[in-house]
Chains A and B, each alone.
Chain A
Amino acid sequence: ILNVEQSPQSLHVQEGDSTNFTCSFPSSNFYALHWYRWETAKSPEALFVMTLNGDEKKKGRISATLNTKEGYSYLYIKGSQPEDSATYLCASEGGKLIFGQGTELSVKP
Chain B
Amino acid sequence: NAGVTQTPKFQVLKTGQSMTLQCAQDMNHEYMSWYRQDPGMGLRLIHYSVGAGITDQGEVPNGYNVSRSTTEDFPLRLLSAAPSQTSVYFCASSYQRMNTEAFFGQGTRLTVV
CB-based contact A46/B102 at 8 Å: yes
Pick the residue among B33, B41, B56 that contacts A97 (CB under 8 A).
B33
Number of interface residues of B (CB under 8 A): 26
CB of B74 within 8 Å of the partner chain:
no
Q: CA–CA, A89 to B45, complex, Å?
A: 14
CB-based contact B106/A101 at 8 Å: no
**Number of CB contacts from chain A to chain B under 8 A:** 58
CB-based contact A93/B98 at 8 Å: yes
CB-based contact A101/B41 at 8 Å: yes
Pick the residue among B40, B100, B103 that contacts A49 (CB under 8 A).
B100
Q: A43-B106, A43-B107, A89-B42 are in contact. Are A99 and B101 (CB under 8 A)?
A: no
Number of interface residues of A (CB under 8 A): 24
A32: chain B residues within 8 A (beta carbon): 98-99
Q: CA–CA, A51 to B100, complex, Å?
A: 10
CB-based contact B48/A101 at 8 Å: no
CB-based contact B58/A43 at 8 Å: no
**Contact digits for B58-97, partner A, Cβ 8 Å, 1 yes 0 no:** 1100000000000000000000000000000010101001
Within the complex, what minimum Cβ distance (angstroms) separates B81 from chain A? 23
CB of A44 within 8 Å of the partner chain:
yes
CB-based contact A44/B104 at 8 Å: yes
Residues of A within 8 A of B (CB): 1, 6, 9, 31-32, 34, 36, 43-46, 49, 51, 89, 91, 93, 95-102
A-B contact pairs, 23 of them (CB 8 A): A1-B59, A6-B42, A9-B40, A31-B99, A36-B102, A43-B90, A44-B90, A46-B103, A49-B100, A91-B43, A91-B102, A96-B58, A97-B33, A97-B92, A97-B102, A98-B45, A98-B59, A99-B42, A99-B43, A99-B45, A101-B40, A101-B41, A101-B42
